[in-house]
Amino acid sequence: MDIRIGNGYDVHALAPGLPMFLGGVQIPSENGFVAHSDGDVAIHALCDAILGALALGDIGHLFPDSDPAYKGIDSKKLLAHVIGLAREKGWKLGNADVTIALQAPKLAPHIGLMRRTLASVIGCDEDCISVKATTTERLGFVGRGEGCEVWASALLAKTE
């Protein structure tokens, strides 16, 4: 088979006064993500989708939150590392689709920059990266504004 598929899922809790990074972009918000890294839950789910396609485990395994080296780390560096692992094994990203569930703030104004940012880290065309955002109609922990939930799918294609 010269294609592979993977999916990723991540959740981070929200708390006041912390920065909010999503898809490599800082989003103006009163709340941000509680995390060991910069808390970019969208990049974390995308990394797990790529790692899933490679059957290389998950980012918690690759970058343990007990390791001070990853304290506050820019998640774009984690994504660059993960896509490097794919490249080493002869795979490139075909496309990725990321769905972010967040009650507030509205993400629509930031989707374009997220797609461009992710594409530039990965080294692919912007039209290979889809980012979608939804609320949960005030239902569940996302709807109560307690956290953010992200699902990602990634398709990898053989480079040779």
Contacting residues toward Mg ion, per CB under 5 A: 10, 44
Residue 145 has, within 13 A of its CA and on its CB side, a CA count of 9
For CA atoms 106, 59, 97, 128, the dihedral sign is: positive
Q: How far is the CB of 86 from Mg ion (least distance, A)?
A: 19
Q: For Mg ion, which residue has the nearest CB?
A: 44
Nearer to Mg ion, 23 or 92 (CB): 23
User: From start to end of 17-143, where are the E strands?
Assistant: 21-22, 25-26, 31-33, 91-101, 129-134
SS3 45: helix
Nearer to Mg ion, 39 or 133 (CB): 39
Q: How far is the CB of 33 from Mg ion (least distance, A)?
A: 8
Q: How far is the CB of 66 from Mg ion (least distance, A)?
A: 14
Residues 7 and 117: their CA atoms lie apart, in Å, by: 20
Nearer to Mg ion, 2 or 65 (CB): 65
Residues 25 and 105: their CA atoms lie apart, in Å, by: 14
Cα separations (Å) of 60 from 31, 34, 92, 130? Answer: 24, 15, 22, 24
Q: How far is the CB of 41 from Mg ion (least distance, A)?
A: 5
Of 41, 7, 9, 49, residue with least CA distance to 24: 41
Nearer to Mg ion, 64 or 109 (CB): 64
Q: How far is the CB of 3 from Mg ion (least distance, A)?
A: 26
Nearer to Mg ion, 74 or 138 (CB): 74
